[in-house]
């Protein structure tokens, strides 16, 4: 089954409708690093990353990984690990996975620019949490309650369509 981003504030999966937020500058076929746009297209989803110190392991059919303090997501266009999970280093630009806020207590990477990443085409595009539905930097964000419901419905074959 496919998760569908129906419009800028509605995510649909099966019979479920979830309020969501997307990139501040809307949707784009020509996503670029730092443009604040959510990429359009059909994408696979990755495993679930979660903060075990804040949330017990959620019920899901997805593979799960605990977020550790030294985890980051490389957004350094000059690094060969661009758009990959990395061990945090001051030498590599990255998005912190272990955050003070709660946005990344639950995170599912959307496999955009994923298999053979092209530097500068965008990185760290996630399904993550929101409390206030403010715009994101290009991700899709859901409330904790809706995210937990979605986790029970999805599996490793689930895709996301952003149109």
pLDDT in tens, 30-52: 999 999 999 999 999 999 999 99
Strand (E) or helix (H) holding 147: helix 144-153
Q: What is the mean pLDDT of the chain?
A: 97
pLDDT mean over 120-145: 97
How far is 56 from 36, CA to CA, in rounded Å?
31
How confident is the model at residue 1, as a pLDDT? 85
pLDDT in tens, 55-97: 999 999 999 999 999 999 999 999 999 999 999 999 999 999 9
- Signed CA dihedral, 16, 21, 23, 25: sign only: positive
Who contacts 155 (Cβ-Cβ below 8 Å, separation ≥6)?
A: 61, 62
What domains does the chain contain, in order, with CATH numbers?
A: 2-162 (2.40.440.10)
Q: Per DSSP, what are the bridge partners of residue 4?
A: 12, 161
How far is 84 from 81, CA to CA, in rounded Å?
5
């Amino acid at each position: 089954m496919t998760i569908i981003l129906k419009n800028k504030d509605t995510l649909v999966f099966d019979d479920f409708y979830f309020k969501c937020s997307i990139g501040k500058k809307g949707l784009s076929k020509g996503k670029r690093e730092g443009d604040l746009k959510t990429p359009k297209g059909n994408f696979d989803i990755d495993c679930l990353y979660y903060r075990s110190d804040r949330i017990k392991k959620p019920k899901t059919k997805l593979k799960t990984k605990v977020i550790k303090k030294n985890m980051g997501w490389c957004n350094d266009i000059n690094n060969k690990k661009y758009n990959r999970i990395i061990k945090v280093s001051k030498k590599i630009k990255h998005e912190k996975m272990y955050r003070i806020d709660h946005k990344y207590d639950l995170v599912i990477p959307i496999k955009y620019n994923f298999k053979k990443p092209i530097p500068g085409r965008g990185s760290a595009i996630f399904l993550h949490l929101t409390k206030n539905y403010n715009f994101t930097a290009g991700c899709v964000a859901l409330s904790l309650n809706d995210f937990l419901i979605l986790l029970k419905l999805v599996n490793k074959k689930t895709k996301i369509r952003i149109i």
